[in-house]
A and B are shown apart, each in its own frame.
Chain A
Amino acid sequence: MGTERKSRTDKELWRSLAVERVVAPSLLSDLDFAAWLEGRLPEAAAARIEAAVAADPELRRAALDLADILGKPLPAAPARLAVRAQALVGFDAERQVGRGGGWFGRLFTSGPFFALQRAAMVAMAIVVAGAGFVMGGGLGDSLAQQRYGSDVATSTTATTSSELSDFFVSDGI
């Protein structure tokens, strides 16, 4: 009975007082707060966070709730929560866009074995293309053929135009 009365009086005393604090807006990082919740901080650092928690009711409620949750066994989460979250990572397209690095980077992203395999494929493709090019006569022949083709085209145009002139002259036009 006596304890109850004293307790009520203590509460009344506290509520009639105001804590005089000049507390800067809390710049508390998540990691600092987590370290304090685990009791890992040295006394001075802990006192700074305790002042911030005492001054901010939102932070105080967060601290009390988190300490309670972390100290108890957790109920299982609904299955759809995990399914949705797991779908956030793992699509190839997303991974390629996210990582960047270009074609050359991707060649070596999947480990040395796959890199070797891909390099062999690329080398083989180069050999096949090169062989095809050589069998087709190479660059020199190709250029010569192109030049010959353009000469023929020029002379054909010239001949056609002179034939037309002759036609018009013979008609007296």
Chain B
Amino acid sequence: MTDLNQTDLQTLVTGNKRAWDSFVAAAAPLINAVVRRTMSSSRLGEDDVMDAAQDVFVRLCAGDFRLLKTYDPARAGLSTWLAVVARSAAVDHLRRRRQATEPLDDVPEAALGVEDKHVEKLQIPQGLLTERQTLILKCLYDEERDVAEVAVLLKIDAQTVRSTHHKALLRLRAHFGDEPP
């Protein structure tokens, strides 16, 4: 199987059948994995996963390969860009399917729940935490991901995630006092 990042894009966007077939063979595992992960929380079946994956390929070749022509290898690797495109296509597919078919009774109560806006929260002033510190705290506490996952996301080692987390908490405690409000 050819490496996705070795794809000859110039030949591919001319509509060359052989180039397209080998691109599909190389991209299918990635697109399949991304679409499956994106749709894993929905209760849609295998046919929907296949249709969503097909949507990704349709997007790529539609309009004389308009979307593929927007890809710039100088800015990002083809596999990463394709993964982002596949995720967007799968989210769109899910939205369309939900709008078209899901009866209200089938929607989990948690999804229908409305957040209680009356809970007063203290505002973290702008500039107290860096964007990275905020992102790390959100990933750890709001998304409940572990340190290793955040390290993979930010391309840093786990120890750096821990120390950034620690410094952020120190700043918050210094600003709001030691005891949680």
Does A31 interact with chain B (Cβ within 8 Å)?
Answer: yes
CB-based contact B139/A31 at 8 Å: no
Does A68 interact with chain B (Cβ within 8 Å)?
Answer: yes
Does B9 interact with chain A (Cβ within 8 Å)?
Answer: no
- State in angstroms the CA–CA spacing of A17 and B76 once bound together: 36
Using CB atoms, name the residue of chain B closest to A14. Answer: B141
Chain B interface size, as a band, is 35 or more
Interface of A is mostly: helix
Q: Which residues of B contact A75 (CB under 8 A)?
A: 29, 32-33
Does B155 interact with chain A (Cβ within 8 Å)?
Answer: yes
Please encode chain A, from 93 to 116, with 1 for each CB lying within 8 Å of some chain B CB and 0 for all others.
001001100000000000000000
| B14-72 CB contacts (< 8 Å) to partner A | 15, 17, 20-21, 24-25, 28-34, 37-38, 50, 53-54, 57-58, 61, 64, 70-72
- State in angstroms the CA–CA spacing of A29 and B25 once bound together: 26
Does A30 interact with chain B (Cβ within 8 Å)?
Answer: yes
CB-based contact A30/B143 at 8 Å: no
Does A128 interact with chain B (Cβ within 8 Å)?
Answer: no
- State in angstroms the CA–CA spacing of A19 and B126 once bound together: 8
CB-based contact A68/B64 at 8 Å: no
CB-based contact A34/B143 at 8 Å: no
| A5-54 CB contacts (< 8 Å) to partner B | 9-22, 30-35, 37-40, 47-48, 50-51, 53-54
CB-based contact B84/A37 at 8 Å: yes
**A74 with B29, Cβ < 8 A, contacts A9-B180, A20-B125, A60-B139 known:** yes
CB-based contact B77/A34 at 8 Å: yes
Q: Which residues of A contact B176 (CB under 8 A)?
A: 13, 17
| A55-97 CB contacts (< 8 Å) to partner B | 57-58, 60-71, 74-78, 80-82, 84-86, 88-90, 95
Q: Which residues of B contact A99 (CB under 8 A)?
A: 15, 64
CB-based contact B76/A84 at 8 Å: no
- State in angstroms the CA–CA spacing of A14 and B131 once bound together: 15
- State in angstroms the CA–CA spacing of A30 and B60 once bound together: 13
Q: Which residues of A contact B141 (CB under 8 A)?
A: 10-11, 14-15
Q: Which residues of B contact A51 (CB under 8 A)?
A: 131, 134-135
The contact of B15 among A12, A81, A89, by CB within 8 Å, is A89
The contact of A31 among B64, B71, B123, by CB within 8 Å, is B71
Using CB atoms, name the residue of chain A closest to B78. Answer: A34
Does B7 interact with chain A (Cβ within 8 Å)?
Answer: no
The contact of A65 among B38, B57, B61, B76, by CB within 8 Å, is B38
Does B2 interact with chain A (Cβ within 8 Å)?
Answer: no
**A67 with B125, Cβ < 8 A, contacts A34-B81, A38-B76, A54-B131 known:** no
CB-based contact A14/B137 at 8 Å: yes
- State in angstroms the CA–CA spacing of A173 and B46 once bound together: 94
- State in angstroms the CA–CA spacing of A48 and B130 once bound together: 11
Residues of A within 8 A of B (CB): 9-22, 30-35, 37-40, 47-48, 50-51, 53-54, 57-58, 60-71, 74-78, 80-82, 84-86, 88-90, 95, 98-99
Q: State the 9 A-B residue pairs at the shortest beta-carbon distance, nearest first.
A: A90-B17, A34-B76, A77-B32, A18-B121, A77-B28, A39-B155, A85-B57, A74-B29, A50-B131
- Other A-B contacts than A48-B131, A66-B87, 4 sampled, CB-CB below 8 A, are A19-B129, A33-B84, A34-B76, A78-B50
